[in-house]
Chain A
Amino acid sequence: MKQLADIGSYAIMVREVFKKPTKWRIMKTLILKEIDELIYGSLGILIFISFFIGAVVAIQTAMNITSEFIPKNLVGFATRQSMILEFAPTFCSIIMAGKVGSFITSSIGTMRVTEQIDALEVMGVNALNYLVFPKIVALMLYPFIIAVAMYVGIFGGWFAGVFGGFSTSADFIEGIQLDFIPFHIVYSFIKTLVFAFILATVPSFHGFYMKGGALEVGKASTTSFVWTSVVIVIANYILTQLLLG
């Protein structure tokens, strides 16, 4: 029953976020600040992880090619497919649930504990619009870092494949061009936009409605990470069934 009540409260929260907008002059500054913290601040870690995951995918694929009948370009093909279809949009979003999601929950939760949200409401400010809307807008740039993650992941695969002696550069490049379906990129970006909305709103929900003190802020951050990941995984399944099934 509590989960059902939470889903209802979440829906009401999302509706409130789009009501009674904050002045554009202030909102513009808030959006730029969130882009800096949520998007630009996540670029480094996602590039780092993508490079090495791409490299590992390439090595593992090469190590599992035991038959002479399997073409060598499979290493590039598998790396491309893994990075575009799943790793970049979904795995990166789970990482972002930990990095960005915990940050959002703890920052909003701390504002709740220290009565800063009460202060906004007493002034007549729509606290949900003021706090959550800029995060949603900023995270609409999330596909940009996912595109970078795709590129870097494939580059990591090429690097490990070629310099590790698992594939030639020509085979790898032939593999990443093989049977390329442009809709897979569209599918990936649609997923990314949905995950971006989840990443902005689910952690905000857990921070905004939390009760208690500093200990509860920590607990809310953990709960937020778990639920954001669960929602992303479920949304991933539904979207894959709808778009590719």
Chain B
Amino acid sequence: MIEVDNIHKSFGDAHILKGISACFDKGKTNLIIGQSGSGKTVFLKCLLGLFIPEEGSISYDGKKYSELSSAEQRNLRQEMGMVFQGSALFDGMTVAGNVMFPLEMFTKQSQSEMEDRVNIVLKRVNLIDADEKYPSEISGGMQKRVAIARAIVMNPKYLFCDEPNSGLDPRTAIIIDNLIKEITEEYEITTVINTHDMNSVMEIGEKIIFLKDGLKAWEGTKNEIFKTNNKAVTDFVYSSELFKKVRQMYIEERN
């Protein structure tokens, strides 16, 4: 579980996060949604420890990040997995090399043990035949799956995903969303996903936090998002005709 208590973050005169508090549950897919410029990425980077908030605290299973020693912070980092928007795979390494990288860096496993673990993880993300290929030789959807495999290879307690299905076709996006959800439940991971894709919200949004102008404007589940009258949320979520019709049908069904 990750608890965020009233964090503030500024860059120069720009006050990006203006006191956000939230709680992200273990074994659930927690979604952060909001328009571009709402502070989603800065918030996620604060959760990752890449940005240090000026005020407030972030606790990981009860341990406050700011109170940990450098060594403890490094150890905590090794319990985190991250799927970047552009996958961020290392160009000079094969798929297997990318997935094996954290194991080589942080474990004392033998080559055969590492290879076994890589095969297990690649099998889990349905990529067993692509292990010798380079990132430039595989599709965007496959790159995302490699990024997920690399993120989970160390059995992380926390998984962070920044726009995991951006640039993917709707069908592949749903496959990636479901894969993240299955992995979250299977390994009991605290997963935080940064997205503005409403299909993801409807598909896997077990807990949703809506950010607007650096503040938490709404919090709920994918079912509650249909009922809310919060104008900021409805303006964002139901901006497309498709979702307006979906909401209309939901309301009519309930009446």
Q: Which of A's residues lie within 8 Å of B, judged by CB? A: 22-23, 25-26, 110, 114-116, 118-119, 121-125
With a cutoff of 8 Å between Cβ atoms, the chain B residues found around residue A26 in the complex are 104-105
| Contact string against A for B residues 76-90, beta-carbon threshold 8 Å, 1 for contact and 0 otherwise | 011010101110111
Is the C-beta of B74 less than 8 angstroms from some C-beta in chain A? yes
Cβ contact within 8 Å between A23 and B105? yes
Closest A residue to B150 by beta carbon equals A119
With a cutoff of 8 Å between Cβ atoms, the chain B residues found around residue A115 in the complex are 84-86, 88
Q: How far does the Cβ of B71 sit from chain A's closest Cβ, in whole Å?
A: 10
| Contact string against A for B residues 56-92, beta-carbon threshold 8 Å, 1 for contact and 0 otherwise | 0000000000000000001101101010111011110
Given the contacts A22-B105, A23-B105, A123 and B78 also touching, CB distance less than 8 Å: yes
Interface size class of B (residues with CB under 8 A): 20 to 34
Interface residues in B89-109 by Cβ distance below 8 A to A read: 89-91, 101-102, 104-106
Q: How far does the Cβ of B146 sit from chain A's closest Cβ, in whole Å?
A: 12
Chain B interface secondary structure, helix, strand, loop or mixed? mixed
Candidates B75, B86, B105; contact of A114 at CB < 8 Å = B86
Cβ contact within 8 Å between B105 and A122? no
Is the C-beta of B130 less than 8 angstroms from some C-beta in chain A? no
With a cutoff of 8 Å between Cβ atoms, the chain A residues found around residue B106 in the complex are 123-124
Given the contacts A114-B88, A124-B74, A124-B77, A119 and B104 also touching, CB distance less than 8 Å: no
Q: Which of A22, A23, A115, A123 has the most CB of B within 10 A?
A: A123
Is the C-beta of B242 less than 8 angstroms from some C-beta in chain A? no
Is the C-beta of B14 less than 8 angstroms from some C-beta in chain A? no
Chain A interface secondary structure, helix, strand, loop or mixed? helix
Q: How far does the Cβ of A114 sit from chain B's closest Cβ, in whole Å?
A: 6
Q: 8 shortest A-B CB distances, which residue pairs? A: A124-B77, A115-B88, A119-B88, A122-B82, A115-B84, A124-B74, A116-B88, A124-B78
Q: What separation, in Å, do the CA atoms of A124 and B160 have in the docked complex?
A: 15
Q: What separation, in Å, do the CA atoms of A22 and B105 have in the docked complex?
A: 7
Cβ contact within 8 Å between A123 and B105? yes
Cβ contact within 8 Å between B78 and A118? no
Q: What separation, in Å, do the CA atoms of A119 and B148 have in the docked complex?
A: 12
Closest B residue to A125 by beta carbon equals B105
Cβ contact within 8 Å between A118 and B105? no
Given the contacts A115-B85, A116-B88, A122 and B77 also touching, CB distance less than 8 Å: yes
With a cutoff of 8 Å between Cβ atoms, the chain B residues found around residue A123 in the complex are 77-78, 101-102, 105-106
Q: How far does the Cβ of B191 sit from chain A's closest Cβ, in whole Å?
A: 15
10 contacts between A and B (CB under 8 A): A23-B104, A114-B91, A115-B85, A118-B84, A119-B82, A122-B80, A123-B77, A123-B78, A124-B74, A124-B106
Cβ contact within 8 Å between A25 and B80? no
Q: What separation, in Å, do the CA atoms of A110 and B90 have in the docked complex?
A: 11
Closest B residue to A122 by beta carbon equals B82
Candidates B50, B89, B101, B104; contact of A122 at CB < 8 Å = B50
With a cutoff of 8 Å between Cβ atoms, the chain A residues found around residue B85 in the complex are 115
Q: What separation, in Å, do the CA atoms of A142 and B221 have in the docked complex?
A: 61
Cβ contact within 8 Å between B90 and A116? yes
Q: What separation, in Å, do the CA atoms of A118 and B105 have in the docked complex?
A: 16
With a cutoff of 8 Å between Cβ atoms, the chain B residues found around residue A110 in the complex are 91
With a cutoff of 8 Å between Cβ atoms, the chain A residues found around residue B217 in the complex are none
Q: What separation, in Å, do the CA atoms of A26 and B101 have in the docked complex?
A: 10
Cβ contact within 8 Å between A121 and B50? yes
Beyond the given A123-B78, A123-B106, A124-B106, could you list 17 further A-B residue pairs with CB under 8 A, ordered by the A residue number? A25-B104, A26-B104, A26-B105, A110-B91, A114-B88, A115-B85, A116-B89, A118-B50, A118-B88, A122-B50, A122-B77, A122-B82, A122-B160, A123-B77, A123-B102, A124-B75, A125-B105
